[in-house]
Amino acid sequence: MALSVSTPTSSSLVPSSRQVVRLTSRSAKPATSSLRRLPVAARAAAGNAPTSPVSEVVTELDAVAGFSEIVPDTVVFDDFERFAPTAATVSSSLLLGIAGLPDTKFKSAIDTALADGECNALEKPEDRMSCYLTKALANVGAELAHQVPGRVSTEIDARLAYDTQGIIHRVHELLNLYNQHDVSTDRLLFKIPATWQGIEASRLLESEGVQTHLTFVYSFAQAAAAAQAGASVVQIFVGRLRDWARNHSGDPEIDEALKKGEDAGLALAKKVYAYIHRNGYKTKLMVAAIRNKQDIFSLLGIDYIIAPLKILQSLEESVTDPDVKYGYVPKLTPAFCKTYNFTEEELVKWDQLSLSAAMGPAAEELLASGLEGYVNQARRVEELFGKIWPPPNV
């Protein structure tokens, strides 16, 4: 069941009045996606809403979508006629999905990358495969950019996570490739791991007008440094921090939250939200790894909430009286931000040494795990490319 979610128009990911949609195939690893929400009348006519008078149909999803951009974690190609995509994300996992579906219209974009003469001329096999991966990401991203009105987000190779200049060079390579496909910079966003080197790359790229999205943020220090760097989007994985806290101890940041009776993941998201807004940073905050509806209710007012489809289905199926809709209120507001008092240590200008010292074992372990997953995906793509090269008809 695909859902469409009405969203605010202040998204930094897509132009004004646009909405974020990230797309994947059925066989690809689920990717985050935001869909247009059908009007209540239309959903009732389509059989997706109760048969009570349309004016009285209000679901929990209707109620919460007015406060945060609610982002489903998957959308399949079959849904496009009902939910026209407005933006897209390109990643190694998406390339694997496309390569596994010979009939998809994006397959030719991969074949073209594998036939690229510049890549073929490289002597080292590892350089050749990396070149193919970069070309394939840009080819597929450009194809999507010509089909959707919003921005295309491109994942940066996690093997460059500790190489600032390597990240910048890769982004510039992708920008050049996108430019060859007539895709302008303002249509693009680049997803970078939140290592210090990634944060520094984000600062330099944002100064050039290139929008960045820092991921794998598991500590206040990472988020604060990213906001100071001017990152367009910072992403916190709420559930992963909660999972870590259930099975480990010894992380000062998490232990402090637990002593206050707070959930470690939710506490970090709220603190970072307050820090961003108290200091006037442009950064938008995204939360992922949502485990239940209460997580969503607790974070209403945050910029973006990525939630599993089963949770959104539950929200969609929970019908409430129209008057009850107004009982849903944003928890993250300017008034909420004023309740936070930050220490001098937290308000410092973050650098590599202070960031390293402030990151606890949870952030270190979860960052390493996330990077390993991304690296494995990239290697799988390159191994696949090595098996299918040269492509048919080349």
Q: Please give the C-alpha separations between residue 34 and each of 67, 102, 161, in angstroms, as whole numbers.
A: 15, 26, 27
Backbone angles phi, psi at 217, to 5 degrees: -95, 120
pLDDT for residue 179: 95
Cα torsion angle, 31, 19, 287, 66, sign: negative
pLDDT for residue 176: 96
Rounded to whole angstroms, the Cα distance separating 206 from 204 reads 6
Structure token pair of residue 165 = 């200049």
SS3 state at 16: coil
Q: 66-75, 79-88, 156-165, 179-188: which has the minimum mean pLDDT?
A: 79-88
Structure token pair of residue 45 = 């006519």
- For 14-24, what is each residue's pLDDT tens digit? 433 333 333 33
Residue 227 · residue 51 · CB < 8 Å: no
Residue with tokens 């006037």: 280
pLDDT for residue 186: 92
Across the range 101-119, mean pLDDT stands at 85
Active site residues: 191
Across the range 250-266, mean pLDDT stands at 94
Rounded to whole angstroms, the Cα distance separating 143 from 253 reads 43
Rounded to whole angstroms, the Cα distance separating 170 from 175 reads 9
Domain topology for 60-388: TIM Barrel (3.20.20)
Residue 360 · residue 251 · CB < 8 Å: yes
pLDDT for residue 3: 29
Across the range 153-158, mean pLDDT stands at 93
Q: Which residues contact 172 (CB under 8 A, 6 or more apart)?
A: none
- For residue 309, count other CB atoms closer than 10 A to its CB: 17
Across the range 1-30, mean pLDDT stands at 36
Across the range 348-364, mean pLDDT stands at 96
Across the range 327-334, mean pLDDT stands at 84
pLDDT for residue 308: 83
Rounded to whole angstroms, the Cα distance separating 213 from 333 reads 23
Residue 268 · residue 220 · CB < 8 Å: yes
Does the structure show a pLDDT above 90 at 154?
yes
The sheet that has 152-155: what strands, in order across it? 69-72, 304-307, 284-288, 233-237, 211-217, 188-193, 152-155, 88-90
Domain locations in the chain? 60-388
Higher pLDDT, 30 or 317: 317
pLDDT for residue 70: 78
Does the structure show a pLDDT above 80 at 312?
yes
